[in-house]
Amino acid sequence: MSQVPQATYRLQVHADFGFDDAAAAVPYLHSLGISHAYLSPILQAAPGSLHGYDVVDHSRLSEPAGGRPAFDRLAARLAEHRMGAVADVVPNHVAVPTPARLNKALWSVLRDGPGSPYAEWFDVDWGSGNQPLLMAVLGQRIGKVLADGELSIDGDVLRYYEHEFPLRPGTEDLPIAELVTEQWYRLAHWRVADEELNYRRFFDVDTLAAVRVETQEVFEATHELLLELLHEGKLNGFRIDHPDGLADPRGYLRRLAERTGGAWVVVEKILEGSEELPRDWPCAGTTGYDALLRVGGLFVDPAGAAPLAAFHSELTGEPADFAPVVEEAKREVVQHGQYAEVHRLVELLARICQDDVRLRDHTRRAFHEVVVELLVHFEIYRAYVVPGEQPGPAAVRALERAAEKARENLDADRRETLDVVQDLLLGRETGTASRIDEHARHELIVRFQQTCGPVMAKGVEDTAFYRWFRLASLNEVGGDPEHFGVTPEQFHAYAARLNQHWPKTMTTLSTHDTKRSEDVRARLGVLSEQSAAWSEAVREWRRLSEDHRSPLLDGSTEYLFWQTLFGTWDDGPLPEDRLQAYLLKAIREAKRRTTWTSPDDEYEQAVAGFCTSVLADTAVLDSVRRFAARQAEFVRAATLGQKLVQLTMPGVPDVYQGSELVDLSLVDPDNRRPVDYQHRIDRLRRLDEGAKPDDLSDEKLLVTARALRIRRQYPDAFAGSYAPLPTSNGHAVAFARGDAVITVATRLPAALHRLGGWGESTVVLPSGEWKNVLTGRVVGSGAARIHELLEDLPVALLVRN
């Protein structure tokens, strides 16, 4: 078995789908063509966790999933099939669980403060040494909590409902009001966190506390079990969650490579625009959002951009450009959800400059304004500036672009402060040549970079993406709603770069984090080719549903509803409970009319009522059904085309659990629903016995299984060259892997249909005889007519006969 995966299959492991359940699925995964099970975090997580990113104990495998015995059975089953496993690793943070005692390290810090042996694990600002750790868990202000007698003492534990906190030794007998002030933690109203939190967290999630994995002690303690499993051969590689949150991502990856002997490691890194993964990172590549953007873009028609933008603005009143929506959302996040992080940056700047006579006339207010503008206008998740090293050109460009835009919103005096801050963030000489307080300067560089990512994630992915819906399928993790379509030439250039620089990177179309499954996005992408028909259909649906529309329902939410209704249509609408749950999440994430922390019940009921009424209106549903039926063949081509391209392009393809069949899922938790493996086993067996596909799900399963098996059968071809093949029609994308495998897919099928089909269009095949493993047809070399090649399916997978 190769230690580098040929293909992975993501499995969400939790109490209801444990290691034994994964083991039961192994024979099926092997028959599908998978080489490695790709497991969500496997360490002990907080009670009830369904995702595993809230680890509480790094020394144990997840007990709800079956613990070490069940994991060993999974490893044995994989070995029987000459398969392996890779695991998701969470180096950036741990859970702040309820009760806190479940996290031994945190419990120790809460009890003993800076004197705890675990104090250096956490990124805490202790102030002058006695500022308590903020625990913002109270439902009301502390004065009211005390007055209402909601706190109680039980031995050496302080209780607040289900919360437990350790008492600082020697304080057990103090009066309650005095006792709470003598602890190494400060109990506070939950709303205090965004403004006064003094420990670094994951984004804006107070219950995920960041750890200093850059220290040897923390790295060893948090990775010991995972490394043990790897060296035993029970794991073969890692997926690294959110490396941009670390103090030193490159240093972490270098240490990991050293300890693993260079095992296969991919990183969850979102690349914006033309940004590239740093070449000095010792890893195989990313988790595939960059590939998702390019593959999906092949099936989006740039001609639809302008008309869909006009229709979007007409319905919603939103601007034609996405940029102002992003700026507004990021500004809100910086000023509210990330206020505590901004405050800590400002205090660092003030400390650096107060100690330097040449810099001390810059004020805290000036620093605050400058930091806000830089964070708002920073275009990528992070610039990789390493304290003590000369910053690279990409990092300098990123800072300079942000500063250039920030400058437009600052007066002349503040621009001088901006120059100082920019120099400090790039590690340049500024102020006194002796560089007073070098430690603070280094901390500033790191902490600013650790703040950029949360502002991007919360501002763009989790806010702006829920406000602006020209074409909702483009609002994807790692995507850009203004990046409308990818030409075959652009895709080939990207794939060639991957093959040259990152041949073992992961590619994907669906993940546990994607906003919509690959098949929902494929359906929506078809609309880019038919902007006029889509606009006409939505106008008809709005006319038919006029009586269901509350005055409170805004145009953006209604337009998102119509796109979602069509995108998830499968012989009928998505079940109402799933659609309602999605809409509730979407409007709260948008944070315009309602939020998670301040819900507007009247508005939420208006949205829910509209959804219920439309789903009960047969006239509306009949109209949607007729429109969807007219798109069926186009959806088929896009669904199969993007899947085959992803599975055969450079990189290691990942299949998200269940998505080998058509899977019309929305954002989590909808995409974490149970998978019926027996149903998939039965379908695959029937196809393998020679039956014709019954439906699009059968066809997608056929494409997936045949492509993955070909990867296993011809490893040298997929480890070899990538060569675009000449076509006489831009609606075909074709490429060869090595000298043995060829992919041909139909793109923009609706536009192709309007042009009358393939006609005499050809694709030039290399010399030899080629067999289409999807249909059994054989074709020779040279100029092959595309319509003959794609007579049975809109895609072809050819192998040298």
DSSP 729: S
- Cα(485)–Cα(311) distance, integer angstroms: 18
What is the average per-residue pLDDT within 90-100? Answer: 95
Backbone φ and ψ for 93, nearest 5 degrees, come out as -155, 165
Residues 178 and 166 in one domain: yes
Residues 245 and 187 in one domain: no
Render pLDDT for 563-606 as a digit per residue (tens, 0 to 9). Answer: 999 999 999 999 999 999 999 999 999 999 999 999 999 999 99
Yes or no: say if 312 and 470 are a contact pair by the CB < 8 Å rule: yes
DSSP 666: B
Which residues face 165 on adjacent strands?
158
Render pLDDT for 5-26 as a digit per residue (tens, 0 to 9). Answer: 999 999 999 999 999 999 999 9
Selection from 125-139, 417-431, 716-730 with the highest mean pLDDT: 716-730
Residue span of the structural domain in which 206 resides? 100-210
Domain harbouring 257, CATH code: 3.20.20.80
Residues 84 and 144 in one domain: no
- Ramachandran area for residue 688 (φ above 0: left; ψ -120 to 50: alpha; else beta): alpha
What is the average per-residue pLDDT within 249-266? Answer: 97
What is the average per-residue pLDDT within 77-101? Answer: 97
Judged by average pLDDT, the poorest of 322-336, 436-450, 495-509, 707-721 is 436-450
Residue 797 has pLDDT above 60, yes or no: yes
Which residues, 6 or more positions from 205, have their beta carbon under 8 angstroms from its beta carbon? none
The DSSP code sequence of 1-54 is --SS-S-EEEE--BTTB-HHHHHHHHHHHHHHT--EEEESP-EEESTT-SS--S
Among the three residues 267, 287, 307, which one is the final residue of a domain in this structure?
A: 287
The dihedral built from the CA positions of residue 781, 785, 788 and 792, taken in this order, carries a sign that is: positive
Residue 263 has pLDDT above 90, yes or no: yes
Give the per-residue pLDDT at 436: 66
Q: Which helix H or strand E contains 782, and what residues bound it?
A: strand 782-785
Residue 434 has pLDDT above 60, yes or no: no
Q: Is residue 520 part of a domain?
A: no
Residues 65 and 161 in one domain: no
Provide the residue type at 777 as one letter: R
Among the three residues 461, 488, 510, which one is the final residue of a domain in this structure?
A: 461
Judged by average pLDDT, the poorest of 352-356, 389-393, 632-636, 749-753 is 352-356
Residues 412 and 395 in one domain: yes
Residues 57 and 73 in one domain: yes
Residues 117 and 57 in one domain: no
Residues 122 and 225 in one domain: no
Q: Is residue 200 part of a domain?
A: yes
Q: Is residue 514 part of a domain?
A: no
Domain harbouring 146, CATH code: 3.30.1590.10
Cis ω for the linkage preceding 575 (within 30 of 0): no
Domains identified in the chain, total number? 3
Provide the residue type at 570 as one letter: D
Q: Is residue 13 part of a domain?
A: yes
DSSP 216: H
Render pLDDT for 640-657 as a digit per residue (tens, 0 to 9). Answer: 999 999 999 999 999 999
The DSSP code sequence of 89-151 is E--SEEE--SSGGGSHHHHHHHHHGGGSTTGGGB-B--TTTTPPEEEEEESS-HHHHHHTT-E
Return the structure tokens found at 584. 């509730």
End-to-end CA separation in angstroms for the chain: 26
Strand order in the sheet with 506-507: 285-286, 264-267, 237-240, 84-89, 36-39, 8-11, 652-656, 506-507
Q: Is residue 373 part of a domain?
A: yes
Q: Is residue 467 part of a domain?
A: no
Q: Which helix H or strand E contains 367, and what residues bound it?
A: helix 364-377
Residues 104 and 197 in one domain: yes
Residues 223 and 162 in one domain: no
- Cα(176)–Cα(159) distance, integer angstroms: 11
Yes or no: say if 153 and 144 are a contact pair by the CB < 8 Å rule: no
Residue 433 has pLDDT above 70, yes or no: no
DSSP helix/strand/coil, 668: coil
Residues 340 and 416 in one domain: yes
Q: Is residue 653 part of a domain?
A: no
- Cα(596)–Cα(584) distance, integer angstroms: 10
Render pLDDT for 393-404 as a digit per residue (tens, 0 to 9). Answer: 999 999 999 999
Residues 401 and 365 in one domain: yes
Q: Is residue 470 part of a domain?
A: no
Percent of the chain with pLDDT over 90: 94
Return the structure tokens found at 800. 């040298």
Give the per-residue pLDDT at 181: 95
Among the three residues 210, 243, 274, which one is the final residue of a domain in this structure?
A: 210
Give the per-residue pLDDT at 432: 67
Give the per-residue pLDDT at 566: 98
Q: Label residue 185 by pLDDT band (50, 70, 90).
A: very high
Which of 163, 177, 47, 52 minimizes the C-alpha distance to 110? Answer: 163
What is the average per-residue pLDDT within 37-61? Answer: 97
